[in-house]
Structure 1
Amino acid sequence: MVAEFERYIKENLKLSGGDLKLMLSVAVERIVRRKQLLLEEGEVCRHKIFICKGLLRTYRTREDGSEHVMMFSPETWWATDPESLNNQTPSLYYIDALEDSEVLLWTKKDFDMLCAQIPALKAYSEKLISINLNLGRQRIFSALSATAEEKYDEFVASYPNIFARIPLHMVASYLGVSLKTLSRIRQAQLKR
């Protein structure tokens, strides 16, 4: 698990060996089984999660029980509910594992301490927040203006390496289309 994180850090940040060691000293390694929850609606989010291996999803449910997938988080991605984590308020989201996964967890207190002691980590974290805000805006714009076919194309472009790992009903949920519509789109694309 640690080797994957070290490789990620070396590719994305310039940290000293001591800074990396400090990060790992407060990280909790965890193996998460398929379908296991890391966050449940109503709980306060306690961790920033780095995915070393596997696949997580973040989703909400409606009163009728239908699920709406907000994001998928494969290897070398981060997952959390930032509003719940930062404000220490109950989450509206679930985070669960779609595959057996290996993750590293940092509490808010520990991650805040790391950002205070490692300026490069703070800058990188702020960069990731900015990227995610931009992606969120793009996703909202797409949801409001794109056709189902355009949403599908954007999904395949955004998640090219995990498409085959996700059940189609979850892809449809992410896109905001019915499973029937998604099947029609896929069939039309195969004929092209």
Structure 2
Amino acid sequence: MSAIFENYMKIHCPALSDNEISVIRQAAVVRTIRKKQLLLQAGEICRYKMFVMSGFLRTYRIGTDGVDHTLHFSPQLNWLTDGESYTNQTPSLYCIDALEESELLLWSRDRFNALFQHIPALKEFSEQLIARNLYLSRNRLYKTISATPAEKYEDFINTYPGILLRIPLRMVASYLGVSLKTLTRIRHAQLPQEMK
């Protein structure tokens, strides 16, 4: 499994040497998470940056009505954390759970910050990831308020190809901000296109 992370870093951060990648990897804890297991519960402090080597995670928030609202999916080869809780060491408003059994690398805040001191290229890479995630979040917010339900669905299947077979439709509807009935109608209307 370590090779997955090492190959990812070689491709996405070529400024890192093999030795630096090895040091980064060794600073992490490997954890296997069962399907439906919570990694972060609302009210807890997010203590880790996480890299998904295999599996599939979801970030969501539970509304006052008790309904969960999916904000983000993290399939294999994705980084995630609750940035505000992690950085400020404050209780999170969000939950992170495993939609499938997942193999993760976890770095505590202290360990990751120590890596920044010795590996400047990692800090630059981390800043690029944060900037990219901010861009993607703003783009998603814009689409949420401006796109039609059909356009949101089309964007979803382009952003997360193959994921429809891995998660319940209610989570997709939650992510898109539409009812399950609306999502089902859209899927039936686009079904011939999906089968091509």
TM-score for both structures, normalised by structure 1: 0.97
What is the alpha-carbon distance in structure 1 between the residues aligned to residue 164 and residue 128 of structure 2?
A: 26
> Structure 1 counterpart of 2:118, which letter?
Q
Shift of residue 191 of structure 1? 4.4
CA deviations 1:64-94 (Å, max 9, x no partner) are 2101000000000011100000000000000
- 1:115 match: 116
Equivalent pair of 2:57/2:96 in contact (CA under 8 Å)? yes
- 1:104 match: 105
| Structure 2 segments unaligned to the other structure (5+ residues) | none
What is the alpha-carbon distance in structure 2 between the residues aligned to residue 177 and residue 100 of structure 1?
A: 27
TM-score for both structures, normalised by structure 2: 0.95
Shift of residue 161 of structure 1? 3.3
SS in 2 for 1:50: strand
- 1:146 match: 147
Shift of residue 17 of structure 1? 2.4
- 2:31 match: 30
> Structure 1 counterpart of 2:86, which letter?
L
Equivalent pair of 2:43/2:91 in contact (CA under 8 Å)? yes
SS in 2 for 1:51: strand
- 2:137 match: 136
What is the alpha-carbon distance in structure 1 between the residues aligned to residue 99 and residue 152 of structure 2?
A: 22
What is the alpha-carbon distance in structure 2 between the residues aligned to residue 29 and residue 148 of structure 1?
A: 39
Equivalent pair of 2:6/2:22 in contact (CA under 8 Å)? no
SS in 1 for 2:66: coil
Give the fraction of aligned pairs with identical amino acids, expressed as a percent: 55
Shift of residue 154 of structure 1? 0.6
1:70 to 2:68 alignment:
no
SS in 2 for 1:177: coil
Equivalent pair of 2:49/2:107 in contact (CA under 8 Å)? yes
> Structure 2 counterpart of 1:37, which letter?
L
Q: Runs of 4+ in structure 1 displaced over 4 angstroms?
A: none
- 1:6 match: 6
What is the alpha-carbon distance in structure 2 between the residues aligned to residue 4 and residue 103 of structure 1?
A: 11
CA deviations 1:97-154 (Å, max 9, x no partner) are 0000000000111111112211111111111111110111111111111100000011
SS in 2 for 1:38: strand
CA deviations 1:12-31 (Å, max 9, x no partner) are 11222221221122100000
| Structure 1 segments unaligned to the other structure (5+ residues) | none
Name the Cα RMSD after superposition. 1.0
